[in-house]
Structure 1
């Protein structure tokens, strides 16, 4: 009997020891289900393999595209790419964030990140992984909604990001229905932007609010734009032929910093029907071209004010 008692005590000690070394904590949620997570990390299955990322990231380096998602979810960013830093909203939210490129390894080390997020154009993922857990996304591999959800998973805020998506889509439908009622079901909208004496036309998934106008709201793109821009996502044209691609309305992303905008004073530009009819809405290019949760909110507000006068 004593031997059995000693055996049971020893077995209990082994079990308790194993539990003490396991960093998994289980709690019961309000709906009675178990919510099991690592106390310090969670596992995220990324395209570059399963990555253990912090359950509550505090110092994130974002190498492209996703600063606005973290901003919307109130996650701290300590480093970002130069394009993101040029966005006045991001710069205001994260004034102390350093500008870093994906190859600035020493600078990134100095920032002491606990998470790195970037796109697949980084030069050496393995070097970044040596610094901190690194998650890489391929641009365009996911649609704009699924991409938000995946970023939410990486920062352990999937529930919050799902709530944002639901709210965003509901608001987009309301605004889109009102715009259709005002401008007509058949009205067409062109989204374009300037750069180096050239104009770029944008399809339905290349930022600049295109995802909202064409996908969420179901508004119409001119056939001329659809023929050249849908497949590649964007298409460059010379300034003087812009009128051939402008529909009933034009959303023009103006990049003013270091760019020549004198075309706006030309006769050919001011003779475009949408321009003559004052159906052009000018957006600030440095902030408007992003496709993230914060930027989508700003773009939706812009379209509501521009089309509906609110």
Structure 2
């Protein structure tokens, strides 16, 4: 019995000694430069592996983990900006899909809304972009990383830069903004020199048998005319449309909102009987051939593709 107890005591001593040696060796190994270098290398390698294909975007609703090279984007709004940055759109809103300026780039894109959850799942997007006012945002986030923006919270150029950030193409977006502003402001200098510094311009749209006038930040070319070119809007337009962005009017009061020049944006085939009235025909801008008619389908947005078209339209008509 005594010998058995001695055997167990010896075995316990050996086990304790072995554990102590392992701990010592482990501590020595971690303290060596070679070991530290190896561990740091492994750590960096692990971080690279986990983050090489994604980055964190700080959205207005908090951080969102996004792919650095998105392959399949569902654009529930801001489609033009996304297209201008050469992203592949697999799902898009109907307004964007119907624009003649985007049609050739969206031949394979499916028309979807935020309510078409099953259809969006089938599209297998890696990014979804839309408006903060959309329905089903929480459900969309379960399908793919989702970034939303509040319309009008950013100005039209800042908005494009943010889309650039989402797509990991911020520098490309910034470079376009800088170049566009330079060209638009230069064209504005030429236009004001020709029509006069005090000449006024109205932007009018006919939609669903209703006329609208616009302020300086509701697309339809308003950002270019009023913000970049520094052209003047009539006082009545400024009074009623500047703050809300747009204002509905009747054809009878259109002369009150008419500038020296009028940009009339309308869809082909839309109701235009008001143009046959004496009230309309007697507007000075109409009588002086200073009414420029634009295709509304090409004027609805304020993304780079649309803005480039609008800028050329204004140069062609004001400087002809």
TM over 0.5: yes
User: In the alignment, which of 254, 265, 268 is matched to residue 253 of structure 1?
Assistant: 265
Please list every run of 5 or more consecutive structure 2 residues that lacks an aligned counterpart in the other structure. Answer: 1-24
In structure 1, the partner of 2:311 is: 300
Tell me the secondary structure at the aligned position of residue 227 of structure 2: helix
Task: Measure the CA separation in 2 of the matches of 1:81 and 1:55.
Answer: 24
The alpha carbon displacement at 1:303 in A equals 0.5
Does 2:273 correspond to 1:243?
Answer: no
User: In the alignment, which of 209, 216, 221 is matched to residue 228 of structure 2?
Assistant: 216
Answer with 87-96 or 134-143: which moved more.
87-96
Aligned length: 295
User: In the alignment, which of 35, 39, 45 is matched to residue 20 of structure 1?
Assistant: 45
In structure 2, the partner of 1:274 is: 285
The alpha carbon displacement at 1:179 in A equals 0.1
Matched ranges for 1:44-63 at <5 A: 44-63=57-76
Tell me the secondary structure at the aligned position of residue 101 of structure 2: helix
In structure 2, the partner of 1:283 is: 294
CA contact (8 A) 2:93 2:112 kept: yes
Task: Measure the CA separation in 1 of the matches of 2:110 and 2:273.
Answer: 33
The alpha carbon displacement at 1:11 in A equals 3.9
Q: What TM-score do you get using the length of structure 1 for normalisation?
A: 0.91
Task: Measure the CA separation in 1 of the matches of 2:279 and 2:133.
Answer: 39
Please list every run of 5 or more consecutive structure 1 residues that lacks an aligned counterpart in the other structure. Answer: 26-37
Aligned CA distance change for structure 1 residues 308 and 3 (closer, same or farther; 3 Å): closer
CA contact (8 A) 2:101 2:306 kept: no
Deviations 1:153-182 (A, max 9, x none): 111111011110110011011100000000
Tell me the secondary structure at the aligned position of residue 22 of structure 1: helix
User: In the alignment, which of 28, 39, 55 is matched to residue 4 of structure 1?
Assistant: 28
Task: Measure the CA separation in 2 of the matches of 1:196 and 1:132.
Answer: 36
Matched ranges for 1:99-114 at <5 A: 99-114=111-126
Does 2:54 correspond to 1:41?
Answer: yes
Task: Measure the CA separation in 1 of the matches of 2:29 and 2:226.
Answer: 72
CA contact (8 A) 1:197 1:238 kept: no
Tell me the secondary structure at the aligned position of residue 291 of structure 1: coil
In structure 2, the partner of 1:33 is: none
User: In the alignment, which of 202, 207, 213 is matched to residue 190 of structure 1?
Assistant: 202
Deviations 1:97-125 (A, max 9, x none): 11000111001111111111001121121
Task: Measure the CA separation in 2 of the matches of 1:196 and 1:55.
Answer: 42
Aligned CA distance change for structure 1 residues 87 and 6 (closer, same or farther; 3 Å): closer
Task: Measure the CA separation in 2 of the matches of 1:52 and 1:61.
Answer: 16
Larger % of helix: which? Answer: 2
Does 2:230 correspond to 1:206?
Answer: no
In structure 1, the partner of 2:82 is: 70
Task: Measure the CA separation in 1 of the matches of 2:182 and 2:151.
Answer: 25
CA contact (8 A) 1:51 1:134 kept: yes
CA contact (8 A) 2:132 2:150 kept: yes
Q: What TM-score do you get using the length of structure 2 for normalisation?
A: 0.88
Task: Measure the CA separation in 1 of the matches of 2:140 and 2:217.
Answer: 29
Aligned CA distance change for structure 1 residues 280 and 2 (closer, same or farther; 3 Å): closer
Task: Measure the CA separation in 1 of the matches of 2:207 and 2:116.
Answer: 27
CA contact (8 A) 2:101 2:305 kept: no
Larger Rg: 2
